[in-house]
Every structure is written in structure tokens, then in C-alpha cells.
Amino acid sequence: MDLSVIIVSYNVKTYLDQCLRSVQRASENLKVEVIVIDNCSKDDTLKHIKNKFPWVHCIENKVNLGFGKANNIGAKKAIGDYVLYLNPDTVVGENNFKLALKQFNEHPNLGSLGCRMIDGKGNFLPESKRGFPTPLVAIYRLFGLARLFPKSKRWAGYYMGHIDESENAAVEIHCGAWMMLSRQALIKSVGFDEDFFMYGEDIDLSHRIGKFGFETRYFSDSPIIHYKGESTKHDSWAYVKNFHVAMDIFAKKHFTSGAKAFSILIRTGIYAKAFSSILKRWLELLVPLFLTAAIGYFLANEFTDYWETNHRYPQGGEYPRIYRQVILPTYLIIWTLSMFISGAYSINSSIFRYFTGFLLSTSVLLSSYALLPLDLRFSRILILISSLLFFISFISVKTFLKFRSSEGVFGLVNETIAHVDRVDSKKLNSSSNYDISIDEIVEQCDYLRPTEIHFYPQNIDFHKIIKTMILLRKRNLRYRMIYSSWTLGSDDYQRSSNHAFPALLRPSLRRAKYLLSMLFTIFIIVTLPVCACFPRGRHALKNLPAVLLRKKTWVGYIGNESSDLPFLKKGVFCHTHLLEDKELQKFADIRYAHHWRPEFDIYGLFNGSI
């Protein structure tokens, strides 16, 4: 057996599927065995792999044993002359295995090989080649000297900046996302240290292999895609804790003196990075909310002054103070909260979501007005105009932030999608979409200026896709891999750690769906006389008791056979129009469950089949 490929999987079914497709192609004309160790995934990974890739040897762990221990289980079963530890969120080129094995033939003492990696946007991942993290190297990185002198052998030693990305060279540390070992190095090192649960075990193993007298080299000839961090959350406190524990183990193991100082140093760096990531994430969420509220209140208050002076009290007088101090801020909070629940504040929100959010928020505001005591109902015109002014402030803030992020107003400036070697022969239905071949995209990219590129791997070699992403680097393009059942990418919305589960299994989105349902229930109750005038409204009123008793939900699946999808009560309305074909129903329900967003339910409420 030439090679044993060992993959540890945890809730990344879709990316593992893609990884195995690429592994299958790279194994052509070689004797390769593939072993998948599943760490108790909840997304039916093993069921899917056994059905789609029956040639894969599957091992099921009843609990999550961590990265190192699970890999060791696979290594004990492996019979190949060489062993490749491979992450499930990777894509290897068709010539990757052959060229890597060639490196071992050219360097007889080679014990461990690391690979050149790019992320989901084509950017080089510096952890592809690393030096041993001594305290001095860690200090240089922590204090920014590595960034100031990125090519320096001394100051940028952590990522070995003196070695070019496209240069094959000797390095000290490899990344466990793609790490190939000789049988001799595996036997001598006894694999990963199982004291590490996650993080640090690849540094430890690389270092030990080097200490045993083997060469450790960086291999750049056949780069791979690594959707960095797709199976973990790098900006979460769980990541901070796991990484800190790993570095503590590493320091005690490899530094006989100064281990405590090294641990404190690493801890400082980890917490600083995590805090800045979390702070940035919260600022991205809260700044638009606060700016909208401040501008919206100012505009609505100014309009109130105009209205009371020129229309409500032209002979003198004013609204009670409670209006400006309590009622107007309450309107603003309700409106902003409704916009937030509708998804309008999402980074990737569309114009459609903006306007559906506006209609929903204004409807909620009017419904809330109707529930107020008579002495607090000042004027519907104030509600409508204030809502419009809130929306103007929202659009202004979104426009400003989009300009600053160089994405254009609403992210729609030159919003075009290049479909590379598309499988479907049907004509695209939009002028902003066009077909192009993999051989033409690089040459035509500057002329066509796409913002997003869709690859169809069924018709394209993976190594060509990887090469194209590298050549189009620094153009701020988004990439998608298009398959029949799902679409994979590496932006915020398409992270595989989220995508492995259907969206409706995520607690935050289930809460959003429930809140949206509550808002619609209130809307139906408040507008009861109006609803009774329309067939759709009468259908909603007829089912209102069942929804209140939680026997039904407002928007549900189309088909009845949805056992593989997150449970939903029977829907009063379907999320889309009626589909007769059972396969189409199933596909539509899968899409709804995996990609749920508030506008799906808003569409279903007003347009879905009954």
C-alpha cells in the first residue's frame, strides 16, 4: 500500500464530502487507503460517507476523543508505507499525492512533510511553514516584529518568513491539516501525544520527529485549500481555553526552564487576539444599531417639532414630554429590534431583506400602537413618518459602512457572478451572471470584474481551481464550490461548522424563527378585521388557535417526509409555492432547513402555498 490517508471528522459532513472527492481523484494510479475516524458527529456524517463513498474505512467514536487520539486510532489501522494526516475541510489537487511521495523518494531521510496551503479566498496560510516556537520567537511575534520584518529569518522565525511561499525547503514545524509521515518516522514517534486534545499536537509531533534525526520539509509544488478554522471557532472563548491548555502542556514538555514564563507569554497573546476578535465582532453588530438609533431619533424628533408647530398645534402647544422621553424611544427600540430579527443588520443582508424588514418593522410598530391606551396614542402619521425616518437612517448607516468596506452601496456595485464550467446547460436568467471556462477566467477577470466565482468541480480538476484562486489573489473575490445538494464557501455565512448542521438546528436561528412567528401572531390579532376580508387572512385566523396552542407553526415544510431534517410542527403556510414533484419538494425543504433566513418565512407568510 503506497499511502494511508487518515481523516478525523467532527460535524463537517459537507466539507468531508468535498475532501473525499478530491482524495479519490488524487489517488488515481496509486494504492491508497482512506480511513475516516468520526468523533461522534451529530450531522449523520458516517451514514452519508458509507452511502456515497463505500471504499472508505469508517471508524465511529462514541465520544469526541480529540484530534490526536482519534488520529492515532486511524494510524494503528493504517498499512501504507506513508501516512497522511488530512483535515476534512481541505481540498487536494489531482497530483498532490504523487508529487508528495516523490519528495520522499528524493530525500531518503525525510520523516515529515508539510504542504503549502491557501484559504477559501486563495490567500496563503503562513502556518504552512513554521519554526519552533521558542520564547524569543513568540516574543517577536507578540510584539509585531514579525509583521515589521516579514522576510527576516530572525524576526519572522515563527512563520519562517525568509522561505518563499513557492519554495521547497527544510522547516521545523508542520500544520496537522496536511502532514505526511514516513512509516519509520511514525513508528519512532508513536504518533500524536494524546495529552493534547486539540491544538499544539502537530507542533509537538513535528518537533519530536526532528529530534529523532529525520528531515522535516515544506512542500510547495502542489498547494491545497484549507478552509482554515472551519471545524472550530477561532474567535470563541472555548478556542482560547483549548489553545491555552495545549500550550501549557507543550511548554512543560519541551522547556525544562522558563516553562511558566513561556506559558504566561503565550496566554497573553492568545487572550489579546481572542479579545480583539470578539470585540471586533460585537462592534460590527452594535455600531450599526447605535448609529441607526441615534440618527433615527434625531430625525424623528425634528419631524415631531415640525409637525406639532405646523399641523398639530399651529395656535400654540406641544406634545406631552412623555412622547419624546418614553414613547418615541420605545418606538425606535421596537422598530430596530424588528429589523434585527428580520436579518436586515446581517453583514450579508440583501436589499430584499432591507425592505421586507422595513415592512415587518413598520407593521409591528403600528400593531404596538393599537395596543396602547388611548391617552398614549398621539398620531399614526408620527408613527409612519418616524418609521420612514428610521429606515432612512438605517440605509444611510448601511451605505456609509458599505463604502468604508469597499463593497459598494448595499454590496451591489458590480455584483456579478462568474460560473466556471457550469454543469447545467440552461441559460442563466440574469445579466449579472455569465458562463466562462476555467482556462479563460484568469485572463478575462480584470475585464469582466466578477465579485463572486462559482466553480463546478464535477467538470473541473481541483488543481486547476486551486491554481486559479492563487492567480486571482488580492482581488477580494468570493468563491463557491457548487454541488448538486449544497454550495460550499468560506465567507462568514458559509462556514462549514455552521453548514454541517442545518441552519434550523442552530439555537440562535430557531429563536429568531420563534420570535418572527410571535410577531406575526400579534400582527394577525391586531389586524383581525382586515384579515377577515381576504382568503389568506381567513386561513390564518382559522389556524390561529392551533398556533397559539403550539400545535402548528406559521411556516413549515412542503413535504411530509422530513425525518432527516430539523423537526418543525405542521405549517399553516409552506415556505414556497406548491410543488407537485416529490423530489423537488424534498430539495426545497432541504434548502429551507439548511439556509433558513427570516425572509424565507416572510415570503412564506405572504406567498407560500396553503
Banded model confidence at residue 104, pLDDT cuts 50, 70, 90:
very high
List the grid coordinates of 447: 475585464
Domains in the chain and their CATH numbers? Answer: 3-130+171-231 (3.90.550.10), 503-607 (no CATH)
The pLDDT score that the predictor gives to residue 7 is 97
Residue 200: closest CA among 245, 234, 230, 160: 245
pLDDT > 60? residue 229? no
Q: In Å, what is the CA distance from 60 to each residue of 21, 50, 77, 592?
A: 21, 12, 13, 29
How far apart are the C-alpha atoms of 96 and 199, rounded to whole Å?
25
484-498 residue pLDDT tens: 877 888 654 344 434
The pLDDT score that the predictor gives to residue 122 is 92
Helix residue spans in 167-258 (DSSP H) = 183-189, 201-211, 237-254
Lowest mean pLDDT among 300-309, 342-351, 408-417: 408-417
pLDDT > 50? residue 608? yes
Helix residue spans in 507-597 (DSSP H) = 507-526, 528-531, 535-548, 582-594
Please compute the mean of the pLDDT values over residues 91-99 and round it to a whole number: 97
- 268 or 49, which is more confident: 49
- 430 or 280, which is more confident: 280
Please compute the mean of the pLDDT values over residues 390-417 and round it to a whole number: 68
314-340 residue pLDDT tens: 888 888 888 888 888 988 888 888 888
Average pLDDT, the chain: 83
The answer to whether the beta carbons of residues 219 and 99 sit under 8 Å apart is: yes
The answer to whether the beta carbons of residues 226 and 89 sit under 8 Å apart is: yes
- pLDDT > 90: percent of the chain: 34
pLDDT > 70? residue 21? yes
Question: Among 52-56, 160-164, 199-203, which range has the highest average pLDDT?
Answer: 52-56
Relative to beta strand 178-182, strand 478-482 is unpaired
The answer to whether the beta carbons of residues 434 and 418 sit under 8 Å apart is: yes
pLDDT > 60? residue 244? no
The pLDDT score that the predictor gives to residue 232 is 47
141-196 residue pLDDT tens: 767 777 888 888 888 888 898 999 999 999 999 998 999 999 999 999 988 887 66
Banded model confidence at residue 252, pLDDT cuts 50, 70, 90:
low
CA atoms within 13 A on the CB side of 274: 18
List the grid coordinates of 210: 526532528
Lowest mean pLDDT among 265-269, 328-332, 440-444: 265-269
- 258 or 390, which is more confident: 390
The residue to which cell 471556462 is assigned: 437
